Amino acid sequence: MRIAGVEVEDTFAEAFPMKGARVIVTAANERWALEAARSFTGFATSVIGCKCEAGLERPLPARETPDGRPGVSLLLFAFDTESVGKRLLERVGQCVLTCPTTACYDGLPAAQRRVNVGGRLRVFGDRHQASKMIDGRRYWRVPVMEGEFLVQESFGVEAGVGGGNFLVLAETVERALAACEAAVEAIRAVRDVILPFPGGVVRSGSKVGSSYEGLPASTNEAYCPTLRAAVETRLPPDVGSVLEVVIDGFTEAAVAEAMRVGVRAAARPGVRAITAGNYGGKLGKFHFRLHELLESFPDPS
């Protein structure tokens, strides 16, 4: 299969089950909502080393937030509900409570599975905190030097999908980066997904395991241009750089749509091929087959 002259390999991306939460952060203005978002989503690229994966789903206009102020929607994923709760407690406590003018709300109000966040952070108020029930949900008002921090007591947790991906094989790093930037821009319009890596792009795609004992992942040498002559390579001779786009989401459909629009956007001049990372079906139960994704939604051009 070729898209805009770029070969798309007949392979699949292998993804795995996760649990996720949506956090709505509002602030006095967009600047401070984004500052909280940057802090909250820092060091959250991969569960391998960061214990969670988090990212900005989208900015929110004031008309879409619980308190009528500018905000952001943030998604956080981990392997289980307990881990999601721990990471939320850490990040809301250290990155949102500390940020001027912010408030923090649950973005999955219908979720049956819930974790206590505001109910634990309330103790920062040192017995000066107060609570209020609104529409059956409890909120905590925690006094701080700037004024007060409003945070919802519990946050919903839903099933998710982690590790949707595709690889862009290009002639140069400049061509690879331009293709991935276009893919990221297209994926940003898809709801219920995030791109947890810096700018949505990964330079260091990994394989499972290592020649060093105890290391869970290591460089994917088959796609490293500098190792072409030393290993069993997967790279054509005219490929000089490979970048990867990784996607997490709440549903298979959302991840599939993000991959579809991302692959189409990445099919640009200088890209020799687009493929996907998998481990022979042994890592995760979700298999996103590139040809099936693209055949289901033909190229309108």
Give the pLDDT confidence of 33-92 residue by residue, as tens digits.
Answer: 999 999 999 999 999 999 999 999 999 999 999 999 999 999 999 999 999 999 999 999
Express each pLDDT in 76-94 by its tens digit: 999 999 999 999 999 999 9
Give the span between the Cα atoms of 204 and 221, in whole angstroms.
10
Domains of the chain in start order, with CATH, are: 2-15+160-296 (3.30.70.520), 19-158 (3.30.70.520)
Give the span between the Cα atoms of 99 and 133, in whole angstroms.
24
Give the span between the Cα atoms of 187 and 195, in whole angstroms.
8
Give the residues across from 15 on adjacent strands. 286
- Name the band, by pLDDT with cuts 50, 70 and 90, for residue 299: low
Name the average pLDDT for the chain. 96
Express each pLDDT in 209-263 by its tens digit: 999 999 999 999 999 999 999 999 999 999 999 999 999 999 999 999 999 999 9
State the pLDDT at residue 208.
87
What are the CA-CA distances from residue 192 to residues 59, 119, 189, 276 (Å)?
13, 26, 10, 21
Give the span between the Cα atoms of 272 and 143, in whole angstroms.
57
- pLDDT more than 90, % of the chain: 94
**pTM over the 0.85 mark:** yes
Give me the mean pLDDT over the 6-25 stretch.
97
Give me the mean pLDDT over the 268-282 stretch.
92
Is residue 301 within 8 A of residue 38, CB to CB? The reply is: no
Q: Angle at the Cα of 2 (from 285 to 270), degrees rounded to 5? A: 105
